[in-house]
A and B are shown apart, each in its own frame.
Chain A
């Protein structure tokens, strides 16, 4: 029976980046197998990649292929308002850079990142199998992995990067604390007349946050949170009607708008795995945590999981230790748990605080944001957090590489 050091289930951005990282460390000493589902994604989502995540993509050598599609975010404006307020009071502006010449985030279409990672994986020589991991059974000294085509092999460690509804997480009996926000994010790519100058906007409207996230070439990604019921009604309308609603929310700053893609909606929920690992199993990305997109941190957290797990495995493997043993799982859990719970709670609280029109709450949060804006050190910390460049970060996110990379 074949044996690998690491089997990664799931071919999204987290799975691909982990496979690529682990196939390169220690001059390729680890045997890595990526199992990816044969789905052709045709959506046009885009994500905000923090400076730390961009450093990671650079370390992987895929940044040059991605950069033409990456829009730097130079500043970010947050307003708190009702839809019919004539003037949107600006309560918080984030500006500046993670480091000189380094924007604190970039907006990048998912497909641009996926295709750059796929190309790199294809030329890396790591084993790629098509299908799903249906079972992973820990046995003495290894885990026995079964794929959807019935084939089986052994591995030291299985990494579940198979999304919020992770089959492997469920199969391992790891609990999933979750709830729905009863909100949906309506996502579309919008073209506009005037330049956005790399400015991102987030309007905290009573029904939920409405984000304008700049893309290259006078386009932006809209993430419009609505109650699930209202989102359904919005999507039933024709393009012209929807565009009129979007114009109301975006305002006049960008000139005339046009829909470049039919809006789609994604249900917004919260989920947190009770543990981030089990015997010979580690959870990364959405399989470990699903958070509200209010702060644009979900994918960045997933990449932090990947960078952290890769660092722990490399350290361990560089000593010849079993890359799937309990010490790796424990170290990973320790490295990621607190950070994840903190981020999950903050985004949950932010959404609860802002998706609400009660006057006392509005006053309180406006006062709070105003205070934040006047406390330079706290703001610097927030920006550093958003940029993911703090000192406690995994090495790949600080612009370093791993041994033998």
Chain B
């Protein structure tokens, strides 16, 4: 299992996130930008999953009974809301501190979530499959995109759904996500992102299709400075999201 562990995780990245894991849930802290980002991500997951699995939105638990795997769950920022929406959520992260923070917080929030320090490759090897698999803001941190996306698609159950969100490898993304967010605005700790690890939508789509899934949803996500919120956008040059379904 250790061998599988090494395939796609870059150990420098793990150490970097461990340092800031304790502040995951501080909405006014360094993860504030991710909290601000959360509603728009959740909206896409909720709406696309409800459409795919024929669920009605107006009841507060549209994902009732669906199994969800959140890869790179961090402090549980997506796992907790998805649990409130009715899903049975498994959150995995390679960083032990993240898992501890997430477990503690779920307990404080009164939510039952299965958190494990493991990798998607290990889950796939153990034969676990999920109705919905999420890899949100993860692809840009892995060492081997092709292998990672392959494992993600393998973890999706038949008729299931995969969501991915990441940063495009454009000059605009370099300017906004690295120079802007890390250096000018100080939203993210310096060194959070490395531009050469960003992935274009075309590269990501082709990796997903190799895993036998069809991308049916794509959208950009853009920050509106005056409203201080993130909105869906046609512009996929910086942040973007994809959703794919399995046959």
Contacts and interface: CB of A to CB of B under 8 A. Distances in A.
Nearest to B111: A141
Interface string B85-113: 10000000000000000001101111000
A310 B212 CA distance: 43
Given A318-B60, A320-B83, A404-B58, A154 B27 contact: no
A321 B57 contact: no
Given A27-B58, A318-B60, A327-B35, A139 B27 contact: no
A3 interface: yes
Interface residues of A, number: 24
Contact of A322 (B60, B80, B82): B80
A43 B19 CA distance: 61
Nearest to B78: A320
A156 to B, nearest CB: 8
A320 B42 contact: yes
Main SS of the interface on chain B? Answer: helix
A24 to B, nearest CB: 11
B46 A27 contact: no
Nearest to B77: A321
Interface string A372-400: 00000000000000000000000000000
Contacts of A321: 38-39, 42, 81, 84
Contacts of A141: 25, 105, 107-110
A214 B81 CA distance: 49
B28 interface: yes
Contacts of A29: 59-61
B28 to A, nearest CB: 7
B209 to A, nearest CB: 29
Given A320-B82, A321-B39, A404 B108 contact: no
B192 interface: no
A349 interface: no
B43 interface: yes
B109 A27 contact: no
A177 interface: no
Nearest to A325: B27
B57 A318 contact: yes
A131 interface: no
Interface string B107-145: 111100000000000000000000000000000000000
A26 interface: yes
Contacts of B105: 140-141
5 contacts: A29-B60, A140-B108, A141-B107, A141-B110, A319-B42
Interface of B: 25, 27-28, 35-36, 38-39, 42-43, 46, 57-61, 80-85, 104-105, 107-110
